[in-house]
Amino acid sequence: MIVPVMLVVVFDLCLPAQTPPNAATTAMQVHTDLNRLMRGLLYPASNVVFSAQNDNPADVKRIPGRDPAMATDPLTSTFGGWQAVENAALVLSESANLLLIPGRNCANGLPVPVNNPDWVKLVQELRDAGMNAYQAAQSKNQDKMVEAADTLSAACAACHRKWREKPRLADRCK
């Protein structure tokens, strides 16, 4: 019993002192293109927010026989109901940060125009719309959710009009 403990101690002493954080380990990293980020993060989160217009999140039931800890729909999960709407709204505001980090491409290979003032402004509209939806969700008022959802979908659409809706894929993000 004692021997393995000793070994661990000796091994520990051989390790270098804790490595200080450096740019290589702490820098933000891009893992996907803009289209997939939209499909994987903004799209599902916004659907949770949009759903609260018609379906009262307080009435959303967990799925019988399914473990809420394993739910694929945040609304029916352990952190479901209005809390799921709040969380989705916050994630949308946080996603604004991901839309601004350098080094990401659009699906056509062009860089996301993070230095273009119009891009920055439209990202800010998304950020604000997310926080607005968060406040509406906190009020648990579905009329407020209808307004907040309008503002949110307008923020998505404004950017899509300018950067996505192009007859040719090659012209996106230009």
Site of interaction with ligand HEC (CB under 6 A): 33-35, 38-39, 42-43, 46, 92, 99, 106-107, 119, 122-123, 126, 152, 155-156, 159-160, 163-164, 172-173
Nearer to ligand HEC, 62 or 120 (CB): 120
Nearer to ligand HEC, 145 or 173 (CB): 173
Smallest gap from Cβ 84 to ligand HEC, in A, equals: 16
Smallest gap from Cβ 69 to ligand HEC, in A, equals: 26
Q: What is the largest CA-CA distance in the chain?
A: 72
Token representation of residue 126: 């998304």
**Residue 91: enclosing H or E segment and its boundaries?**
helix 82-98
Please, which residues have CB within 8 angstroms of residue 51's CB and are 6 or more apart in sequence? 57, 75, 85
Q: Cα separations (Å) of 82 from 36, 61, 137?
A: 27, 12, 6
Nearer to ligand HEC, 38 or 75 (CB): 38
DSSP state of 16: P
Smallest gap from Cβ 143 to ligand HEC, in A, equals: 20
Nearer to ligand HEC, 62 or 125 (CB): 125
Q: Helix, strand or coil for residue 146?
A: helix
**How much is the CA Rg of the chain, to the nearest whole Å?**
22
